[in-house]
A and B are shown apart, each in its own frame.
Chain A
């Protein structure tokens, strides 16, 4: 990013805020409906969508260099490694923990 960096227009911030409010209401609404195993999928999808908006617009990653994109991605990939390899143990033990 350059100094002065890319200045995000104010209306973008307010639009994103509005979207985040909508998603928040949506996630609460979905929680009151029994969708079985899909509840967690819906909840996490909405949370990921909200987080993505915050990262891209509030944190300016949409306008950032490739290096920043790589850093953010690396963090996410490593979190996935931690969660998935750990769960690979628990999901294949065939015994109650």
Chain B
């Protein structure tokens, strides 16, 4: 049964005009505001990456100067981490789906939700302004004393921009926590919640507990630059490594902010396209919480060679092994979910498969890095760069793309062209591996990161990586085109084109402003796919 989009009122057509968007408190519209904004930042960050990969085609530093290259990798990191990856799933899919999945009419604090977007925009403007004013050259990690004393670039502007992006995430996390605790529909007990919700709850815990610490670290760097209040100044007996402690206390858990929501997406997709409930539901739910908690205890693994005590390093190394366990549990459980399932290879599922393989590689290489003695050799090499790109791009971005495709019909009421979707997913997968696998080899062979020139013998691998990057870029551009095209010309989707479980699929596509005609009453466990499959086999 297809919904008639033109006649029925829903959240997109209930009001028109720019004010109805810029002053909206509807979580679904705010999600789309975020979607547009982070896409912009993705392309800005991507542009910096393009310049970097162009430079690295040749061993000599001939495209840009070393100082400019420093600014390129800094701005690439800042844009991607603070302004794209961190908000990617939570601020778009999370904002759209959290209230719907729990049967609520909106988040607990709709106006704070809108405020979070404006705070994010403000931070983004500062970041872009810093780029326009010549950029920053400290690395996205802002290590002192270079950032606090010696750098002549727009450090304060960029750092304050990151501060506001972080504050925006605090507001989002706060909203999610209160919403999930207080606004679940009748009958929706904790263990009936979709794993997407568990994932976002765990993510919100990290946002709340970690972000403030990097915020104060940024404030102290700004105070040192602006007012010469030298907290990290070695001349006064200050310790630059203290900055690293405060910075990584957040920035390690931040990577779990980036991966946990993506894992939530994967749970939903794998269940739907295997027609099976997620294997070991409680294990996956508790694994999300475990990752959030243990993730706070490992930050020193970024500081093995910084001058940190070797004994603290050993403790951090051991704990870093521990944090891999819940992630592995999830991967096993997703595999088990697919076992004897009726698997279909729609675009979201292709991205999910990509995620499973690439996240596993990224995660396993994390174990190499947790091994203190190995990290001493590969720290600050391309091995690290490959590791985190496998997780951030091979993991998070793949899941993000999968999620965008999976819920696109719900968000827009339209279907995207499936053939183009599958094609792009394959291009992304191929381009990604060609870009980043050579980087593992480069790092192992000793090529350092953050250098614009390198010894001749590394050129072949670098050329492969740059070639892969161009393919990857095409893989991201094509969905931009067909997704926008589908908003106007895509086939009407109907309420539930995937025949998925979950409250969001029980309402129309696009949903009405209040999400549901009536507040749902939940009596069944999540992922009730088994009965459907029985009916399907009977038909066959």
Chain A residues with a Cβ under 8 A of chain B: 67, 74-75, 78, 81-82, 85-86, 88-94, 97
Contact = CB atoms under 8 A, between A and B. Distances in A.
A89 B296 contact: no
A97 B312 contact: no
Interface in B305-342: 307-312, 315
Contacts of B307: 93
Contacts of A74: 209
Given A81-B296, A88-B312, A93-B308, 8 more contacts: A78-B296, A85-B299, A85-B300, A85-B315, A88-B311, A89-B300, A89-B312, A97-B237
Contacts, number: 39
A76 B384 CA distance: 33
B361 interface: no
Given A78-B209, A92-B311, A97-B239, A86 B245 contact: yes
Contacts of A75: 209
A86 B249 CA distance: 9
Interface string B275-316: 000000000000000000000110110000001111110010
A46 to B, nearest CB: 25
Nearest to A97: B239
**Which DSSP category, helix, strand, loop or mixed, fits chain B's interface?**
helix
A86 B296 CA distance: 12
B181 interface: yes
14 contacts: A74-B209, A78-B209, A78-B296, A81-B297, A82-B249, A85-B297, A85-B315, A88-B309, A88-B312, A89-B308, A89-B312, A92-B310, A93-B307, A93-B309
**Which DSSP category, helix, strand, loop or mixed, fits chain A's interface?**
helix
B457 to A, nearest CB: 38
Given A81-B296, A81-B297, A97-B239, A89 B245 contact: yes
A90 B237 CA distance: 14
Given A81-B296, A85-B300, A92 B309 contact: yes
A11 B297 CA distance: 44
A89 B239 CA distance: 12
B213 interface: yes
Contacts of A67: 181
Contacts of A89: 241, 245, 300, 308-309, 312
B480 to A, nearest CB: 40
Contact of A90 (B213, B249, B299, B309): B309
A16 to B, nearest CB: 28
A63 to B, nearest CB: 19
A1 B209 CA distance: 24
Interface string B182-209: 0000000000000000000000000001
Interface string B228-251: 000000000101011001000100
B170 to A, nearest CB: 13
A81 B297 CA distance: 8
Contacts of B310: 92
Contacts of A81: 296-297
Given A74-B209, A78-B209, A92 B312 contact: yes
Nearest to A82: B249
A15 B94 CA distance: 47
B144 to A, nearest CB: 14
Contacts of A90: 309
A91 B239 CA distance: 14
A82 to B, nearest CB: 6
B315 A88 contact: yes
The 8 closest A-B pairs by CB, nearest first: A92-B309, A89-B312, A92-B311, A93-B309, A89-B309, A88-B312, A78-B209, A86-B245
A67 B307 CA distance: 41
Contacts of B239: 97
A75 B474 CA distance: 45
Nearest to B316: A85
Nearest to A67: B181
A81 B296 CA distance: 8
